[in-house]
Structure 1
Amino acid sequence: MLQRLDNPPRPVLFYLHALGSSRRAIEAVGARLEAEFEVVGIDLPGFGDAPAALGLSVAEMVAHVAGAIRAHGATRWLLAGHSMGGKVATLVAARALAGDAGLFGLAGIVLLAGSPPSPEPMDEARRERMLGWASAGPLDPAAAREFIDGNVGAALDPRHEALATRDLLRTTREAWLAWLERGSREDWSAEAGRLDLPALVLAGGEDGDLGPDGQRRVNGPVYPRARFEVLEGAGHLLPLERPAEVAEAILRFWRREAGAGPRIPTDFARLIASDRVSARSRAILARRALADDPDYRPKALTTAQLDTLRAVAARTVPQDMGGAAIDLAARVEAGLASGKGDGWRLAALPPDVEAYRAALDGLADFGALGEAEQDARLAALVAGTFEPAAGGLSAAQMQGWFADARTDLVRQWLAHPATMARIGFDGFANGGDGPRKQGFERLAAGEREGWEPAMEGVR
């Protein structure tokens, strides 16, 4: 049975640590998040409790993290990467949005002084100094002391300093050298591409190469929706230096943006993640499931026209999505801006963008009307009797445009995985990427396959 939407499981925050650190670095932040998140730290190979034999290359670290997420089974999750872990997090996010099996449900990413997918900017003299610390074996206490002092804006709390020191001293020499000599220098920009998902990028005001300016330069192009925040006075070890501020920033980000979209029932999300769904279909659904940008700026319409379209959408396609709604108007507007239509238009109408602009200008007062007046206006549009005072379209053209607009809005609503779960549609699960497609066997009305989620729990 599907997970009821009125009592969903907590989302999961997967944390990937920095060079010389471990999963324990997130503990102070996690203690402040536990009411809303399950926080899962993952040791990267050669750090913490993870053996170096798991693989020290960037590719092997990405595979290790993806395997841990699959094994957990999370269906609604954030990915947080600190410094070195930021590069790994970006590549895992790229795989999730590309439709890799078992990785469905990524809602957003948090970078804490994150290393980019491109070569990490690093002063070469400092790199050589750090390499020298491990030339004959693991780091010693003097090297750990110098590393910590060079990466904080102010002295750490004694507990956090002890944790950082312990992690540095048990870091394997092989893992330390592998990152500095190879991993930090590798360019994975092509594999990452542009990741259009909710992103929070935190930087310490006193950090060096990966500080505020560096973050905007190297991670800004990867994340067009990135929200940049600066922790003034902090250095590079953000989870240990400013755990309360990091936790508060993550909660704001989740509540306002990454977690603001409609929830997808757990069993339905697991079906999408399964091998019954092709990678291409899963990638499409993964991107559709992302929360809408609360700061979306229209590209084909004016802000006033988009506001009018939102008012029309609210009355035309009412939503009850468990406390969150899809911004159907913004999604239609994005389609108009991209030039990707449905392949046809009424001969009596101008091209789609022109038709939308003219029609919405003709409905400019719609958002200010009461619900009864709005419904009367929509009824007149359907009947072909509404003659706009402005906008340049006739009553018949407004009727044709509204027929098109209704189709566009409903198409966006039906395309969302939360809507598919609500109406019980799982036709996308007709076979994965293997040579033999599972398909459907029980096709009679009222019958369901044994693997299909039951719909009784959906509101």
Structure 2
Amino acid sequence: MYFDSYGKDDERPAVVLLHGLSFDRRQWEPVLDELAIIDPDRRVVAFDLPGHGKSPARDSYQLDEVAAVVHQAVTAAGLDAPIVAGHSLGGALATVYAARYPARGVINIDQPLLVGGFRDVLRGAASVLRSPGYGQVWDGMLAGMGIERLPVDAQELVRAAGTPPQELLLGYWDEIMTMSAEEFTRRRTHDMATLRMKGIAYHYVGGNDLEPRYRNWLKWVLPEVTVTVLPGGGHFPHLAHPAELAKILAG
């Protein structure tokens, strides 16, 4: 996996950054610019996930398998038990990673861990997703992410990613589309129970208030969870409030 490295090693755990589906490590630039102001020596490594940016594609994008690839890359980068921060898909991946490999903390940026209605949306659009017109499904999802609320430069950063390859969407969404909601919930509940047992700090950063049912589940599986809402940026609170997110990364 390709990565950019910043800062230098000190007594604090390094921070690993995992972007969302269709994006790459460059989406962290506004946050990293702010971090360079308040904590220029903070050790941070921003990765391109498999199939994104300069990282090679895979035949399968199951979360467990991608987490194993990330662990290999983290180890190759010389990092030991990092804080793993991820946006969207990266937030789910950060959670799975920390449940299976050494980690000191998780920062999940706007990625609910239960499928909710998203699974039904994907299943309903399955035929279109597998057709040449698959991009319209992605465009429809982007339209609901609140991109228009972001600063102009952040909007350009998001839109510059374009439409991801079809195999990337089908690969990373395969588990959601094929696994039962009950099994999906069981796996994520087990992950969070593992984090609690390991004493790993978990910080959820959302762009909107959590839906009450989900908040109750989150507090039930991990009572020590920290929840921060950075409003006004829709699905991209780290781009709407890069200075605030930089403070969270700085610890």
TM-score, structure 2 normalization: 0.76
5+ residue gaps, structure 1, are 1-6, 97-102, 255-459
Question: What is the aligned partner in structure 2 of residue 174 from structure 1?
Answer: 167
2:107 aligned counterpart, secondary structure: strand
What's the counterpart of residue 204 of structure 2? 201
Question: How far apart, in 1, do the equivalents of 2:239 and 2:133 lie?
Answer: 22
Displacement after TM superposition at 1:29 (Å): 0.8
Aligned equivalent of 1:109 = 106
Report what 2:154 is aligned to: 160
* Cα distance change, pair 8–225 in 1 and its aligned pair in 2 (3 A): same
What letter is aligned with 2:92? K
Shift of residue 191, structure 1, vs aligned partner = 4.7
1:29-108 maps to which residues of 2 (within 5 A)? Answer: 29-34=31-36, 35-53=40-58, 55-75=60-80, 77-96=82-101, 103=102, 106-108=103-105
Q: Counterpart of 1:228?
A: 227
Instruction: Assess, with a 3 A threshold, how the Cα gap between structure 1 residues 162 and 79 changes in structure 2: closer, same or farther.
Output: same
Give the C-alpha shift of residue 36 in structure 1.
4.2
Q: Hey, what does 2:22 align to over in structure 1?
A: 20
- Of the three residues 107, 118, 122, the one matched with 2:117 is 122
Q: Contact 2:24–2:52 at 8 Å: present in 1 too?
A: yes
The structure richer in strand per residue is: 2
Secondary structure in 2 aligned to 1:182? helix
Deviations along 1:72-110, whole A, 9 cap, x unmatched? 1123631102121122111211123xxxxxx4xx32211
2:171 partner amino acid = A
CA distance, structure 1, for counterparts of residue 70 and residue 211 of structure 2:
27
After superposition, the Cα gap between the structure-2 partners of 1:202 and 1:180, relative to the gap in structure 1 and judged at 3 Å, is: same
Contact persistence 1:131–1:180 (CA under 8 A): no
Taking a change above 3 Å as real, the CA distance of residues 180 and 95 of structure 1, as seen in their structure-2 partners, is closer
User: Which structure is richer in relative contact order (CA contacts within 8 A, separation 6 or more)?
Assistant: 2
3-state DSSP class of the match of 1:15? strand
Which SS does the other structure have where 2:206 is aligned? strand
**How much identity, in percent, do the aligned residues show?**
25
TM-score (norm 1): 0.44
Check 1:242–1:143 CA distance in 2 against 1; reply closer, same or farther (3 A cut): farther
C-alpha distance in structure 2 between counterparts of 1:153 and 1:61, whole Å: 27
Contact 2:62–2:174 (8 Å) recurs in 1: no
Partner of 1:91, secondary structure, is: helix
For residues 151 and 125 of structure 1, the distance between their equivalents in structure 2, rounded to whole angstroms, comes to 18
- 1:269-303: CA deviations, max 9, x gaps? xxxxxxxxxxxxxxxxxxxxxxxxxxxxxxxxxxx
Indicate conservation of the 8 Å contact 1:139/1:168, yes or no. no
1:296-375 mapped onto 2 (5 Å cutoff) = none
Aligned residues: 230
Q: Which runs of 5+ in 2 are unaligned?
A: 1-8
RMSD: 3.0
CA deviations on 1:354-393 (whole Å, 9 max, x unpaired) are xxxxxxxxxxxxxxxxxxxxxxxxxxxxxxxxxxxxxxxx
Question: In the aligned structure 2, how far is the partner of 1:76 from the partner of 1:85?
Answer: 17
**168 and 222 in structure 1: CA distance in 2 versus 1, 3 angstrom threshold:** farther
Give the Å deviation of 1:219.
Answer: 3.5
Is contact 1:114–1:215 with CA below 8 Å preserved after alignment? Answer: no
Distance 2:172 2:216 in 1: 21
Change (3 A) 1:23 1:234: same
Q: How many Å apart are 1:246 and its aligned residue?
A: 1.9
